[in-house]
Amino acid sequence: MLVDELVALEKRKLDPWYGEASTAAYLDTLAGDATYFDPWIAKKLRGAEVKHYVAGFEGKIPRLEYEIEDATADRRGDVVIFTYAITHPADQATGEVVPPWMVTTILNRVADGWEVIHTHYGLPVPPEG
């Protein structure tokens, strides 16, 4: 099933990210012209900017336990829109629960699997009012 394949791909990059503060597996999934944004950057990043930004987290990521939930995949030919939530993230050293993430990743089918062409991380924030 496609969703299971994509969850496994995400775990292959997030397990070292959250377990060892290693960005290598994450960087390996990115297409050369990938785009990216998250709540801490003021503009969309593209290509080398994405790789530089992601590589900047090397050694700085706290060890977190996490779960991937509510994963869906909408495939359109060789492209898939993959959405999921990173839930119950807890710092392994302190036990502190950190905010969950809502993630949209767009992947392109290539000869040896999938490459990420866009990722958007967001924080679920309740509306004011």
Digit-coded pLDDT (tens) for 53-103: 999 999 998 898 899 999 999 999 999 999 999 988 788 888 888 888 999
Judge whether 36 lies within some domain.
Answer: yes
CATH number for position 65: 3.10.450.50
Assess if residue 61 is contained within a domain: yes
The confidence score (pLDDT) of residue 128 equals 66
In a domain, 128, yes or no: no
Percent of the chain whose pLDDT exceeds 70: 97
Mean pLDDT for the chain overall: 93
User: Is 99 contained in some domain?
Assistant: yes
Tell me whether residue 91 is in a domain: yes
Q: Does residue 44 fall inside a structural domain? A: yes
Q: Which strands make up the sheet holding 30-37, listed edge to edge?
A: 45-46, 30-37, 113-122, 101-110, 79-91, 64-76
**Number of residues that make up the chain:** 129
**Residue 83 is part of which domain span?**
2-122
Q: Would residue 77 count as lying in a domain?
A: yes
Number of domains in the chain: 1
Query: E strands along 45-112, which residues?
Result: 45-46, 64-76, 79-91, 101-110
Residue 127 lies in a domain: no
Rg (CA), the chain: 15
